[in-house]
Structure 1
């Protein structure tokens, strides 16, 4: 079972939501395998139900499973860690304070574990107070370099930069990308990304020299009628990723 995502030219991998196993298969094929499929823990009442269902996604997509929180809900942090211990997915979404627990329970270093940090309005600084309790307190604004060092201490793989609101925090995002490149750390831009701004957002990270980039594109490519992520849009995003690497 594959534990590491299939990166386009060893650098880019898409992250989209899967509404069903069939939708996951369609998106996996549309992305030529350069994708991980997000399945949200928040959608399940019990660990057992989540594990049983998520195993079906794993079987259909060569384990291209991304265990999600659900709109970055910090209260799902513990459940995500428990599920990941059993499932051993390719990718785990976590809040800042949950990354260490997930890595410890995984028991290996291959699975990508991200950690959510948020824009602050100040270039070079991020908010790391994204956990169940810390998110209810005043923001903890620290230099991005310090945040990455803390995440490395905890065994995390990447910065999940959320909510970006597209390019609303462009200057901050550029500095986050540069810091990830400096420290050989992965970057996952997330929030408000769509077909119109995707290529610029990815290009910024590529130009900064980030080693591995996993852009998350969610609601903007979901069919409101069916709830499915549109495979045609996934294909369009794949083409844009290929273009940034030319």
Structure 2
């Protein structure tokens, strides 16, 4: 089946606070969602795999295996989970895409590659791993990053952390590169109910064919830790207006 895009163009990505919450999110989004469960929330790979199997069942495979706030230290956990869990969506640092693709063992599971804003439109930072993030930043043209991600077996650019609209010019340049290269874009970081429409308009106006926007902490109920299903419904309504 794979990722269930609305109108073949947009699929939401939000966090599941619990198994019940994940099931409610899936219904609220009319299945046009990948529900995130973070590897960082588990003490080891074995316990993550055991729990994620339950999520796979209620989400019909539409589980997004997450790092945890883009935490590069979790790259190996995500890659190792891929040996057991054939989720439709994996989040990964740039340099560990190949490891994850080899472990997942097929070409159908979606794997993104985390790249960060560089401060210069048209360039992205690919040194997003636990070692490379401490080294001299590796800044390269977005088109080159996309070519490398394709070579490693990745399916999309995860542009993180955006800080909402703080790097609007950079987002536009990334979106234009994704459109040129027929590549999927996953905007992430600081996306809220207030700025979601504008961020999506920038991306869609650039001609990006497929988008997976990540809307996380801004729509999570602080007390329960669950993602608010009414917000998910509202996000889907905006998507329907735009595409």
Identify whether the pair has TM-score above 0.5, normalized to the shorter chain.
yes
Over 2 Å off, 4+ runs: none
Given candidates 156, 159, 162, the residue that maps to 1:161 is: 159
Equivalent position of 1:48 in the other structure: 46
Equivalent position of 1:110 in the other structure: 108
Equivalent position of 1:13 in the other structure: 11
| Distance in 2 between residues matched to 1:53 and 1:155, nearest whole Å | 27
Question: Displacement of 1:92 after TM fit?
Answer: 0.2
Given candidates 218, 221, 240, the residue that maps to 2:219 is: 221
Question: Which moves more between the two structures, 26-35 or 132-141?
Answer: 132-141
Q: How big is each residue's C-alpha offset from its partner over 1:24-75, in whole Å with a ceiling of 9 and x where there is no partner?
A: 0010100000000000001111111101100111111111100000111111
| Distance in 2 between residues matched to 1:138 and 1:225, nearest whole Å | 40
Equivalent position of 1:189 in the other structure: 187
Question: Displacement of 1:174 after TM fit?
Answer: 0.3
Equivalent position of 2:177 in the other structure: 179
| Distance in 2 between residues matched to 1:108 and 1:200, nearest whole Å | 35
Give the superposed CA RMSD. Answer: 0.7
Equivalent position of 2:95 in the other structure: 97
The TM-score with structure 2 as length reference comes to: 0.98
Equivalent position of 2:147 in the other structure: 149
Q: How big is each residue's C-alpha offset from its partner over 1:78-116, in whole Å with a ceiling of 9 and x where there is no partner?
A: 110110121000000000001111111112111110010
Specify every segment of 5 or more residues in structure 2 that has no aligned partner in the other structure, as ranges: none
Q: Secondary structure of 1:85's partner?
A: helix
Question: Which moves more between the two structures, 104-113 or 69-78?
Answer: 104-113
Q: How many residues align?
A: 243
The TM-score with structure 1 as length reference comes to: 0.97
Query: Pairwise mapping of residues 120-135 of structure 1 onto structure 2 (< 5 A)?
Result: 120-135=118-133
| Distance in 2 between residues matched to 1:87 and 1:100, nearest whole Å | 17
Question: Displacement of 1:132 after TM fit?
Answer: 1.6
| Distance in 2 between residues matched to 1:52 and 1:117, nearest whole Å | 30
Q: How big is each residue's C-alpha offset from its partner over 1:175-229, in whole Å with a ceiling of 9 and x where there is no partner?
A: 1000001111100000000001101111211111112100000000000011000
| Distance in 2 between residues matched to 1:107 and 1:50, nearest whole Å | 19
Q: Secondary structure of 2:37's partner?
A: strand
